[in-house]
A and B are shown apart, each in its own frame.
Chain A
Amino acid sequence: MTTTTPATDTSATGPDVELDILRYGLIEVAREMLDSLMRSAFSPICRDILDCTVVIHMRTDEGWEVAALWEGCMQHAFVAPHIANFLMDDWDIDTMQPGDVVFTNDPWRGSLHQADVNLFRPVFVNGRVEFLLQSTSHLVDLGGPIPGGFSNGAQSHFEEQLKLPPTLLYANDVAVRPTFNFLLENNRVPHLVLGDLRALHGCLVVGERQLQDLIARGGLDDVRAAGRYAIDATEASMRRGIASIPDGDYSAEDFLDEDGVTDEPIPVAVTVKVRGDSMEIDFSGSARQPLGNSSTAWCEAGRCIEAVKLMVDPSTPVNSGTLKPIDVLLPAGSVVQTLPPSSASSHADIGPRVINVVTQALGQATEESFACDTGTAVYIGFSGIDTRTGHKGTPWGAYGLAGGGWGGTWKEDGVSFCVTPIGNCRTSVQEHVEIESPLVVAQHEMLIDTAGAGRFRGGLGSVYTIMAESDTLVTVVADRLRRGAAGANGGGPGAPAVGWYIAGFDLAEHGDPMNLRGAEPLFGVFDEQGRPDPVHGEFGRGARYTTGKFSNLVIKAGDAIRLIIGGGGGWGDPLAREPERVRQDVRNRLVSVEGARLSYGVVLANGEIDTAATGARRAELTAARDAGTWEVPIAAPLEWTL
């Protein structure tokens, strides 16, 4: 059996079968860890939404490198390598003992935000720590003034959730009582958090057992060689993908709407530099850290690489090899590397924006590009005290991810009704939500005319309406309220986000999301009659908020909140989209007849294409575009009822 690390380029000789088997063995250990975690977690954010991931770090001469992982949520995979190294820079490895588990959720040590906690367990072989197993998940609550984190309005981390530097959570598999007491006594839903912490610990125990078994069968040297083989193979694949991009400097700029404290747009600038099979992603020129809670401490150093991975090497397993060809430059004190004591708990919009802007930069380099995804998760957090019969007095917490659309690509329409690339999480299991929380999910479905128009349109966004059965405290984190996700190569933007409050919700009366009767605007761009209109409307007109980032909204029992999340940007000229595909979209109620005429220049009569009228309409729009009097409209539902 080969025990040496194979050459990086295996294309000539093919993979070593033994090492490949062990490489998959490592991945299988990670898969079993995640299975264990999701099956034993208590809270819906871990158990159903899968905002969790598990990782196997391998000790190397340089530090700790990820050999294998299993995602619940993609962004965790890209930030885990740094968290492990920050942790082990702080923790004396010589004090570690079998069965120890170290906890951290510090954003300045790589955590996405305080709500995402990370547990690490050393794996000893012959008395030496050879591997470090990590389990990570979003927890429903960790104290602070705003339930569930995402502390809108906070200007310092002192106003946010508990933040722990590396701290012993288990010693020799015995719970460290002061640490548990601290976490549980400062918590609104201690029963859920205890269940999740035990699940996070349990999956590490499962992982160690499986990994030790793999080592017993394969031998330490070969398992380590397989880990190195996995990293080298992924690195080689990433480098091949990067080398396919022409050398050059590619710059782009996008922005966050504002920070929830001031109304100033926050620019996010990037220059992606490609030299052979190496890359730099430089965020120089980005905004300084905002006053409000819209920046992150460190995680963009890894998360931005998701854009490169998706574009040049979508198929290989993620590990440290994914990061190796790329240096990331984060300006200190910027929106992508905020400095303490800044707030750092709200990562859900800067994350997508960082990926969006890298996508836009790389889109200049290659025809095989894609347009921006929705760029905001429209995160919604719910909490309160249950008043339902049989649940009275029970504290509860739940999350909603509205789901948006991915951008159109050079070869196909974007994926509809899914969460942004920062996390390929699932939506909640609505039946679980309704059993465990005093909420009724009245609708969660794709919404017509929300996708950016293009030769390949964006994926569609959705409408999400939730009714409260008990008084419910709500936090919303939404961006891209004025203009939706940018298109690419002449494609149009997706629809921006909109929100309403509906008092006395009645499904029969309020079930049609296009019917605005009884719906009070919360945020968005509206015309004089109150219709969402990103083209001619005014931001915040008649709305309760002039931001999409707010907390402590109370939905009274019997009332509802309705959110629209836009779709992805379109790719390519929508006037070049095959008319038959537009007709199919209209037939499937993804695009309206009027939307087809306005954005695609396709004229339909009785469900059929009017070829002559379509030709004339497209010629008219092309001429108008050439004259500078027409551009592809921002996507927006059109058929409102007042």
Chain B
Amino acid sequence: MRAPVTHMLPLTSIVRERLLPIPGEVHVKLNQTVSPGDVIAEAHFAREHILLEVARKLEVSNQAADRLIRCKVGERLQKDALVAEKKGLIPKRITAPQPGRVVAAGGGQVLLELGESTIELKASLPGKITQVIPERGAVIQATGALIQGIWGNGRIDTGLMLSLIEEPDAVITPDRLDVSLRGSIILAGQCYDGQVLQAAAELPARGLILSSLPPSLLPLAIQMRYPIIVIDGFSRLPMNQTAYKILSTNTKREVSINAERMDRRTGKRPEIVIPLPVSQQPPEPRSIDTLAPGQQVRMRRAPHSGVVGILENIRPGLSTLPSGLRVPAAEVKLENNEQILVPLVNLEIIG
């Protein structure tokens, strides 16, 4: 059976497409080297509009109003600039209430867009531009360690990774966060206390890597302006050994966190990239694989949620679970040598 792959790799090629949500301007060129914080594309849009009801205000029909409109689509108007005018015994004028750009005119109405907001698309990982997508963004290729998480708060940043944990099951408390961590990305284990998130904001930290975070803290985590990535789950879970090993052996290195939300449809996931030098480009990891003995797998549901083990044997036919369900299942060996029976649909491949 095929299964999704979650990447936790000490060295791999990482290829990511970064796109603006609306058309804009791309600032990078093919083969250009970029840093995670580099703005590779930007787009402008108006957050607000004003609809001027010309026909109603001038008390004429829509057709007549269209003839009285004195501005054109695309034209930028200053405050009080003339929008429409009716001459006669009692002349009437409609002017722009605020500076803006005319985006539509007709049917007796004029629509002005006000102000301008900019969307900046950051590279989010260090690498080389391998493809420019006109008006939308680029494809970036990087090399290094890659760890994918299950939840992110939507922020991106890069910085030196410092560890506050000595074991995968460590629990972070607010008193562990001191000024020596300012400007760093903190490897912090399990978090049950909202004050940890607040303390990291006050430092300020550039990122927080957690094994687990309770759902009750998700709203607070979303408010934080630095990236927070959760690696294993929402229950009280230690960090899986594979991720812990990669992260703990790369402390004091520059790491990039793209804590974007997991999108089930596009496959986007929050992830950590640790750039590493290579003499030869490693292959890109697969996003789908077929379950087979010898693979490293992670359980996706209780009672071993988040735990990584080795797939030992896929049982033929259907197996009966303690819940009474009869499903295709596999025997998985955990790190403590315990062997457990897991439904195939509850497994994901780590690789």
| A joins B in a complex | no
List B residues at the A interface (Cβ < 8 Å). Answer: none
